[in-house]
Structure 1
Amino acid sequence: MPTGRHVEENAMHPFRKAVEERDLEAVEALLADDVVFTSPVAFRPYPGKAVTAAILRGVLRVFENFRYVREIASADGRDHALVFKAEVDGREVHGCDFLHFDDDGLIDDFTVMVRPLSGATALAEAMAAQFDRIQQEAAGS
């Protein structure tokens, strides 16, 4: 018996829709206050809505030609995997956003994984260049 389901295009998750429309207010509204963001290029997770929102704004600044190509949801709808493709500094990146939703329907756990190594390296370098701005944005929230 399958434990997940493929989500049809017309049933797009609100997070996916917000990201694809680059609606940063809608993205932030879907984050729980106690969300934990786990980056593909940093060792430690980042707890909290302000820093997670700032990181996501930074990611949208560095990703070029970003698009989700597949959406997979658990049967209960509390877990989603959003497969994406993008470019960073001319390097192709394939990745997946793993989202978990709390009882209120807000994202409380957000993990990103990317490949290949050359794409992950380009992403790490591009995000490192954004780090001061991300910290300032998170502090200002």
Structure 2
Amino acid sequence: MHPFRAAVEARDLGAVEALLADNVVFTSPVAFKPYPGRAITAAILSAVIEEFEDFRYVREIADASGHDHALVFEAVVDGKKITGCDFLHVDEQGLIDDLMVMVRPLSAAQALSDRMGERFESIQQDAVARAQRLATGS
């Protein structure tokens, strides 16, 4: 089991953040531009974990090198069943430097987009606070 999967399933946000490289790039299923950086990625993942109900990984696929992983999940958002996949790339230090999420069906993706849009100001504030903590080491 990939450590990211274990951390997400345990809802251990500290462990999730610790697995992210400083230069991680997060590609959202519902936003046009990727989000670069550990602080914003951790803030988004924290909010998503709160929005998903009945979240569970149902399949894990890894390449032979151990650098690329696909974690297929199911959850519920606003009463809509969502199926998705976390695509991870792990750098030489074992940290996630690329995280792309894809989801289906469109109706569930729209529900997720709406919920995350409602929270985006607080997500940005959380990212700023995380960046400050990372910069000061506290």
**Does the TM-score normalized on the shorter chain lie above 0.5?**
yes
Displaced runs of 4+ in structure 1, greater than 3 A? none
Partner of 1:37: 26
TM superposition shift of 1:129: 1.1
TM superposition shift of 1:83: 0.1
**RMSD between superposed Cα atoms in Å:** 0.4
TM-score w.r.t. the length of structure 2 is 0.93
Partner of 1:59: 48
Partner of 2:89: 100
- Equivalent pairs counted in the alignment come to 130
- For 2:118 and 2:53, the matched residues in 1 are separated by 16
Partner of 2:61: 72
Secondary structure of 1:131's partner? Answer: helix
Partner of 1:112: 101
| Structure 2 residues not aligned, in runs of 5+ | 131-138
TM-score w.r.t. the length of structure 1 is 0.91
Please give the per-residue CA displacement for 1:63-107, whole angstroms capped at 9, x wherever unaligned.
Answer: 000000000000010000000000000001000000000110000
- For 2:6 and 2:129, the matched residues in 1 are separated by 26
- For 2:4 and 2:63, the matched residues in 1 are separated by 15
